Amino acid sequence: MRSILTLLLYAFTCSAMALSRRAPTPGQLEQVTDFGENPSNVGFYIYVPQNLASNPAIVVAIHYCTGTAQAYYTGSPYAQYAETHGFIVIYPESPYEGKCWDVSSQSSLTHNGGGNSNSIANMVTWTISQYNADATRVYVTGTSSGAMMTNVMAATYPELFAAGTAYAGVSAGCFYSATNQVNGWNSTCANGQSIATPEHWANIAKAMYPGYNGTRPRMQIYHGSEDATLYPQNYYETCKQWAGVFGYNYDSPAEIQNDTPLANWDKTIWGPNLQGILANGVGHNIQIQGEEDLKWFGFTS
């Protein structure tokens, strides 16, 4: 009798494990719990389209403070675009109360440092392996705190991403403080008082992955000119950072396009790897420009 019970228990356990590890259902947002190391306990939600491409691309879409994976899934256009273009969307979820991202601690601002950035990077590598995804077509985007993390991901894991778009964020490392606080708030940065040269900001970004000399993701930076949460000076500092990383002369952009992509929005182009879009008259709640993201990522011309 004991051996029969043991066998039944073993069968039940195996069945439960199989269910917990089943592939996410196409066309639905689902959580993945078994994707390898998750040092900072970040939630991993994934959307696999019903119309999945062979060797699909990946878009990592990172939510704002107070947000969740579900909220960003429903409030952003990426899942709908996934059905059209066959790519996979990863929606990380912050583990902290308030749902902001840790962009202030040394662990998260370091390649393989054990912070939020490390956990998100492991989601990407798991997805590439699980779905035979195209490792040369992985993109990252986010809003507010998610935009901050977008810049951090581009700095800490430049080898993973081909391009990024950041909506109303701050430069990578701007929220770091001497206290090395996890998920801390930096009012000096938020209020646009952290002002430095392109070279200074570039060195901060490069120090997040010491010794890395490979290619870096193309960056497109969006910000509202009336942002009272993350002041618009952060737009200029973020553009300085990536101009410094790519070796562009920040003070001499290649081109400025007015009323692009919307009326009263101005696009500044420093080169093929960096664009900045200042939305004049817009506050912190800047609208995602999904079609522009698709162009920047290379899904559309």
**In degrees rounded to 5, what are phi and psi of residue 39?**
-65, -25
Q: Is 132 helix (H, G, I), strand (E, B) or coil?
A: coil
Q: According to the 3-state scheme, what is the secondary structure of 23-64?
A: CCCCCCEEECCCCCCCCCCCEEEEECCCCCCCCCCEEEEECC
C-alpha torsion 255→260→265→267, nearest 10: -20
* Of residues 125, 113, 117, the one with CA closest to residue 92: 117
Residue 143's SS3 state is: strand
- What are the residue numbers of the active site? 144
Hey, is 199 helix, strand or coil? helix
